[in-house]
Amino acid sequence: MLVWLLFLLLQRPVTAATVITRTERLPAGVHLLASADAAHPALIIRGSNITVEFTGVTLQGAPAGTDPDKFTGVAVFVDGGENVTIRNLTARGYKVGVLARGSKRLHITGADLSYNWKARLYSLVEHESLVDWLSFHHNDNDEWLDAGAGIYLADSDDAEIDNTTIVQGQNGLMLARSNNAKIWNNTFSFLSGIGIGLYRASNNTIMHNRVDWCVRGYSHGFYNRGQDSAGILVYEQSNRNIIALNSVTHGGDGLFLWAGQSTMDTGQGGANDNLVHDNDFSFAPANGIEATFSRNAFYGNRIEECWHGLWGGYSFDSWIAANRFAKNVEAIAIEHGQDNRITENTFDGDETAIRLWKNATQDPNWEYPKRRDTRSRDYVIAGNHFIGNATALKIAETQNVRIITNDFEKVSTVATLSGDTRNVGIGDEVSVPVRSRPTLDLTLPKPFPGGMDAKIPDAERRGRDAIIVDEWGPYDWKSPKLWPDGRSDAVPLKLRVLGPAGAWKLESARGAEVTPSEGNVPGTITVVPSSRKPIDFDVRLAYRGARVVNPRGEVIPAGAPYIFGYARYFMPVAWSVRYFTFDDRTKPDGNPDAFASVLAGTPLKTEQRDRLDYMSGHTLAEGVPADRGAIVAEGVVDLPAGEYTIRTISDDGVRVWMDDERIIDRWAPHESAIDTAVISGGKRRFKVEYYEIGGFAELRFEILRR
């Protein structure tokens, strides 16, 4: 009671840039406190032995209706100190919810840091955009802050984060050079980037957390890329962490572990001696676990329906034991691995259970293989149970493999051996020269008292078909949604009605006919546009049923009406497209005269198209070489009065003219990038020049109504 009275006495108005230096209870209410950037946080906590009580308080960084990629700044900055407790904070509309620097024994409990910053995504139903790929290779200068976070801890040891929720942002909890944290009983889910990220962060304990649907780069039935999103990220010399008893399903990767750039540059170190135990890493578009260039233990995890269950490239001295793999394309895939043990796992219905190999060549830019022995060698595969696999063991260019006491049940092919594969023994009586390794010191963690069972029950939503990613990230199934059943450009267009159970009625249909006009969730509708030039429709349905939480976090009570919909605008252009190729001496950005002469010559191919939309790791079009290809496209369109945005996405170079005026010019070689120009309606003549040198090629030209 005395503490409660003290909190009441110490309340004061909340204003932007307030500095808190003592224990306080902030007055309840929604406080609109803008923050322009990390240097100007909304609130600052400075000092030691402080408890700040935020019960009933919401810090709002931007007005309602602001798009998430426009959020800026930091809600709460913890500036050093020791033994600071932040209790029951809710913060919305910021780039970062809580940023701590140099704080020891920080405790964040009961916080809700959802609906903060996230990038707009440009991948489509039919194909991805390379713009959406993430990169976490560098963070020594806190580059990760550019991608936002619910919580970001920099140089802050011994933290405890519990009972905290971060959903519908890009990144959840990110630790940089922060050690000995206890992270438990949290929900970091439905994020478009990373759930929990570690960079040079060691001896942390991550247990009893729900870290599901941290994903981008997936469209069911079309592509499964993941784009380096992940439930849990362990990067750059992050060692001796315990990751146990978590649900990490439906992530781009479940666990994404990489030794770090310093290891790639020196051949030394790694993200080593991490214990990964009894987690569910199922339904990842890419890898349930990706762990490379490092030494770790993976024990008792569940990994189902991923592309790769465990991708372990260049792993060494690692132990993969007692895991349950099922229905993966490849359950375990390790290139250039050494001295690894694969024991007592179950492989149930995986196409290939274990694949081991060495590549013919390695990246010449890597120092790692120049400083390390990177042969594929010295494995023990023992005590595993193989059930219904097309191939149990696929081994190529690998030496010294002992295969002993395994069971094979309804396996089509037990083993295929190829290349320089030697000293492989199958059966109890076979002895092969595998180098003796000391037994790993593996003490399995016990559940925390009060730790929640984070796992998704088998009866609930499982499977990769439960992943839907729109322009703002993964759909959380908490509100009704219309989503294409198949291609998004189909005519007629079939849409799935998804979300909580309830009923819907057609509210309005501009520019289209919709059937049926009412139904239940789940269900489907068919949309027939009134015209095709342009396709321009907006369909709205009215839902009544369960409680709804909309994509921006607004709660609609059960039984109250909720309007949701689907719109499409597509203006076809009568494009005449010519394809060319050029040699490596003709540099489009460095030798313009030579490139112009190429474009003035005879094209390899010509065609008519109604859109420019290319995304390929191979060739732009049949008959065009995969590398050093070019396009010249010319088209005319009659736009109704109004304002429009021309948007291009390009890799490597693009320039656009409208009525002989250059309106977009990004001609130097570059990774995928977005450019825009605002134009007015009328009869318009466009010309697009584009080239790609090598690797992936991307070109998209869009007319967007403003």
Residue 170 has pLDDT above 90, yes or no: yes
Nearest alpha-carbon partner for 204 in 166, 173, 170? 173
Q: Are residues 644 and 526 in the same domain?
A: no
Q: Are residues 650 and 532 in the same domain?
A: no
Distance, CA of 611 to CA of 91 (rounded, Å) = 42
Which pLDDT value is given to residue 11?
58
- Residue where a domain terminates, one of 550, 569, 588: 569
Return mean pLDDT, the chain.
95
Residue 533 CB neighbour total at 10 angstroms: 13
Distance, CA of 232 to CA of 32 (rounded, Å) = 32
pLDDT tens-digit map of 416-460 = 999 999 989 876 544 545 454 445 567 899 999 999 999 998 878
Instruction: Tell me the CA distances in angstroms from 309 to 79, 118, 629, one per residue in order.
Output: 41, 28, 36
Average pLDDT, integer, range 315-333: 98
pLDDT tens-digit map of 18-30 = 999 999 999 999 9
Q: Are residues 692 and 586 in the same domain?
A: yes
- What number of CA atoms fall less than 13 Å from residue 205's CA on the CB side? 16
Q: Are residues 578 and 565 in the same domain?
A: no
Distance, CA of 481 to CA of 603 (rounded, Å) = 45
Q: Please state the domain count of the chain.
A: 2
Average pLDDT, integer, range 537-564: 98
Per-residue pLDDT band for 267 (boundaries 50, 70, 90) equals very high
Distance, CA of 98 to CA of 364 (rounded, Å) = 41
Distance, CA of 116 to CA of 94 (rounded, Å) = 5
Per-residue pLDDT band for 9 (boundaries 50, 70, 90) equals very low
Question: Looking at the whole model, is its pTM more than 0.75?
Answer: yes
Specify the DSSP class assigned to residue 301. Answer: -
Query: Is 530 inside a domain boundary?
Result: yes
Query: Is 659 inside a domain boundary?
Result: yes
Query: Is 343 inside a domain boundary?
Result: no
Asked whether the beta carbons of 266 and 371 are under 8 A apart, the reply is yes
Q: Are residues 590 and 701 in the same domain?
A: yes
Structural domain of residue 492, as residue ranges?
477-569
Q: Are residues 551 and 614 in the same domain?
A: no
- Residue where a domain terminates, one of 547, 569, 591: 569
The CATH number assigned to the domain holding 650 equals 2.60.120.260
Nearest alpha-carbon partner for 77 in 69, 86, 66? 86
Strand 574-581 to 629-651 pairing: antiparallel
Residue 242 has pLDDT above 50, yes or no: yes
Asked whether the beta carbons of 120 and 81 are under 8 A apart, the reply is no
Three-state secondary structure readout of 581-611:
ECCCCCCCCCCHHHHHHHHCCCCCEEEEECC
- What number of CA atoms fall less than 13 Å from residue 100's CA on the CB side? 31
Query: Is 595 inside a domain boundary?
Result: yes
Average pLDDT, integer, range 682-689: 98
